[in-house]
Chains A and B, each alone.
Chain A
Amino acid sequence: MKRKMFALMIACVLTMTVAFAVTGYADGRTVAMICDSSISDGGWGMACYNAMIDAAAKCGWQTMYSDSIAQSAYYDTIVSYCDLGVNMIYAPGNQYTDAILQAAAEYPEIAFALLNGGEDTPAKAVNGNVSSLLPDAKQIGWIAGALAGLMTKTGTIAFIGGMELDTTKGKYAGYGEAADFVAKENGKSVKLLDPVYSGDFSASDKGLEFAKAMMDQGADVFFGDASAVDSGARQAIDAANEAAGEIKIYDIAQPADLLGQNACIIGSQVTDNSALIELSMKAVEAGTFGGETLYGTLQNGVLSAGKLNADTVPEDVQTAYAGYIQQMTDGTFMGGGAKAE
C-alpha cells in the first residue's frame, strides 16, 4: 500500500514535468503596471491605471496590471512580468523604488518607469534603464492651496497623507504656502493643520476617522494624497455637510478630475500622467529610454486645475482662481519664485 502510493505520486510528478512546456509571449509592445492600492480606489490607483490605458491606446501598446499588492510582493510581481517579456514596467509611486532598482539591475532590456520617482533614482540604475516621471509636487500643492485659500471660511485647512513620501511632503508644503499667500491677498489668514499619514493607501475607514477629527478642529477645506483613504474622508465630509444642511466643508480631489463623485468636491488637481507615460513609450520605441527625469508641470501641461463646482464655488472665486493658475503657469505666482525644479 505504501509503495503503491509513492509510485503513484512519483508518476504524477513526472507526468506534470513532461506535460508542461514553456510558452513565449505575444508580439506588439506591452506595458505592465503594479500598484499597491486597488485600481478602483476612487483616487490614485484609478487615475494611474486610466493614464496607462490612455497612453497605451494612443501608442498602440497592450497593457497588463496587478493591483492590491503587498509591499513584500513588489519585487516578485515585477520580476514575474519581466519573465513574461513585457517591454515596460510602470510603477506609480516612490515606494516602489527599491523593487524597481533591484529588478532593473537584472533585466537590462526592459524599461522601468517610476512615477514620482526621486530625481536621483535614474542615476542609481546600473543599466540606465530607469526613468523617473516626476510631476512637480510643489505646483500640485499650489493648485490645491490657492483654491483652499480662496474658499476657506474658518481659516483652517487640512491635508491627509498616505505614506510620508518626499513627494507627499512637497505637496503638503506647496498646499500650505499657496493657501497662506492667497488668503493674505484676500484679507484672511489661514492655518494648515499638521498632516496625518494613514500609513497605507487603502484604509478608507481611517480616512473617515481622520476627517472627522480634523473637522472637529475646524478644518473646512481638505486635500490629500491617499487614494482610498481620501474616499473615506470625503464620505465623512459629505455626512457632516448633510447633518449641517449645507455644503460648507469642502474637498479638493486629486489626481484626476473627480467633480461629481462626491458632493463636497469643489475642484480637483489634475495630473495627466498619461502624457508622461506616452513620452516614455515613445522613448522606448525610439530606443532612447532611461537615465533621466521627465518632469510634469503646469508649463508643459501635465499638471492642471480641474473644473470647479459651479454650485458651491462663487463666480468671483472662480475668476480669481483662474487668475492664480495663470500666474503659476507664467511663473509669477507668489512673487515670481515659481519655477519647476
Chain B
Amino acid sequence: MKRNDFAARVFIPVLSILVSFLIGAVIIAAMGANPLEALQYLWKGAFGNVRNLGTTFARATPLIFTTLCACFAYRCGVFNLGGEGQFIIGAILACFIATKLPVTGVPAILLCAVAGAVGGGLWAMIAGLLKVYRGQNEMIITIMLNYIATLLMGVVYTNWLRDGNIPQTAAVPDEVKLPSFLGMRATIAFPIALIVGLLIFYYLFSTSSGFRLRAVGLNATAAKVNGFNIKHYVLMSFAVSGAIAGLGGALELLGTQFRLINGFAAGYGFDGVAMALIASLHPLTGILVAVFFAALRVGSTMMQTATGVPTSVSDIIQALVIVFTVAGLAMVRLPAFRNLFTRRARKEA
C-alpha cells in the first residue's frame, strides 16, 4: 500500500508534466511555430549557460520560500494561503530598514532578515488567532490579508517610501545587497532557502515536536485525545510558516529586486501552495518542484523573444500541470479508485 502511494505521488506529477508539455507543444504547433525549437529555447533560456542557470535559481528562490511556507502550514492542517501577503510584509519591512535606517553591511542584512521573518509571522498570526479563538476558516482570511498586504505595498511605493517620479521605492543600497552565490545571478538567498528546507525536513521528520505537529495535521481529534496541545501547534505553524514567507520576501528584495514596485511578488503565494501540493507536502520535493516551475518561467521569456510564442503558452502549461496533478492526486485517493487496486491484488493473490 505504501509503495503504491509513493508510486502514485511520483508518477502522477511526472505524467501531468508530460501531458501538459504535450498539449503545450500542440498549441505551439497550431500557432505555426516549431514546437521542438520552442522547447529548445525554453530549455536554453532556463539552463543553457551559467547566467541563465543563475537566473533560474534566482527566480526559484522566492518560490522555494513560499512553497516551504505552505508545506509547513499544511502539515499541521493549516491552509495558509497567505504566503504572498506574508512575503510582501517581510519585503516592506526589509525595504524600510535598508533604505531608511542608518545601518549597513552584514548587520543590516541580518536585521532585515529577522524583521522580515517576524513581520511575516505576525501577519500570519492575524489569521491564526482568528482561527483558534473565533473558529474562522483561515483560507478566506489569509486571501483577504494578501490583498491588504499588496495594497499596503502600493501605498509604500507610491507614497511613503517613494523615490522620485516613478512609482517605486529607492533601490536598496549596494552595501546591503546580498552577495552573489558562486558568482551567478542567484544570491546566497538560494542556499539559504535550501538550508531552510533541510531544517524543516529535519524538524518534521526527526523531532518529536515535529511528529506531534504532523499528528495534529493528520487527525486533530486523535491528537487532542493524546494530550497534544492543538492550539499551540496550530498557532506555531501559522507563525513559522508566515516567518518563512516573510524571510523569503526580505531576501528577495535584498537579493534580486532591490525595489518595491508594482507586481512585486505577484502570484508567488498561490504558486507556493500549488507546488507544495504537487510535492505532496514534502519539503525537499517542494524545492525541486519550485526549481522546475522557475525554469519554466525563465525559459519562457527566451522562448517568447526567440520564437514569438507568447509567454501565456508557458503559463498555460504551468497551469495545466497544476490542474492535472491536483486532480490526479485527488483521484487516486478516491475509495472507488483504491478498490480497483485491492480487487486486482486479491485476484492475483
Contact = CB atoms under 8 A, between A and B. Distances in A.
Nearest to A32: B305
B11 A83 contact: no
A71 B306 contact: no
Nearest to B11: A5
A5 B257 CA distance: 38
Contact of A20 (B43, B264, B301): B43
B264 A72 contact: yes
A80 B302 contact: yes
Interface stretch (B2-10, B175-183, B221-229): B2-10
Nearest to A165: B165
Contact of B305 (A2, A5, A20, A80): A80
B14 interface: yes
B55 A76 contact: yes
Contact of B165 (A9, A84, A164): A164
A94 B45 CA distance: 27
Interface majority SS (helix, strand, loop, mixed), chain A: helix
Contact of A199 (B6, B158, B306): B158
A9 B13 CA distance: 12
Nearest to A64: B305
Contacts of B158: 199
B166 A72 contact: no
A77 interface: yes
Interface in B4-59: 6-7, 10-11, 14, 40, 43-45, 48, 55
Contacts of A71: 168, 261-263
Contacts of B43: 16, 20
Nearest to A72: B263
| Contact count band on B | 20 to 34
Given A80-B45, A169-B165, A70 B263 contact: yes
Nearest to B6: A2
Interface majority SS (helix, strand, loop, mixed), chain B: helix
A244 interface: no
B298 interface: yes
Contact of A163 (B40, B166, B264, B298): B166
Interface string B295-311: 00010011011101000
B7 A81 contact: no
Contacts of B144: none
B292 to A, nearest CB: 11
Interface residues of A, number: 31
Nearest to B7: A1
B77 interface: no
Interface in B251-283: 257, 259, 261-264, 266
B167 interface: yes
Nearest to B154: A199
Contacts of B166: 94-95, 163-165
A22 B302 CA distance: 13
Nearest to A70: B263
A70 B264 CA distance: 9
Contacts of A84: 302, 305-306
Contacts of B7: 1-2, 5
A77 B301 contact: yes
A73 interface: yes
Interface string A164-187: 111001000000000000000000
A41 interface: no
A6 B68 CA distance: 24
A47 B166 CA distance: 22
Contacts of A98: 171, 259
Nearest to B259: A98
A66 interface: yes
Interface in A51-106: 64, 66, 70-73, 76-77, 80-81, 83-84, 94-95, 98
Contacts of A200: 262
A-B interface, 9 closest residue pairs, ranked by CB to CB distance from nearest? A80-B305, A70-B263, A80-B302, A71-B261, A164-B165, A80-B301, A20-B40, A72-B263, A76-B301
28 contacts: A1-B7, A2-B3, A2-B7, A5-B7, A5-B11, A5-B14, A20-B40, A20-B44, A23-B40, A32-B305, A64-B308, A66-B304, A66-B305, A70-B263, A71-B261, A71-B263, A72-B261, A72-B266, A73-B301, A77-B301, A77-B305, A80-B304, A83-B302, A84-B302, A94-B166, A163-B165, A165-B166, A166-B165
Interface of A: 1-2, 5, 9, 16, 20, 22-23, 32, 64, 66, 70-73, 76-77, 80-81, 83-84, 94-95, 98, 163-166, 169, 199-200
Given A64-B305, A80-B304, A164-B167, 8 more contacts: A1-B7, A2-B7, A22-B44, A71-B168, A72-B257, A76-B55, A77-B301, A84-B302
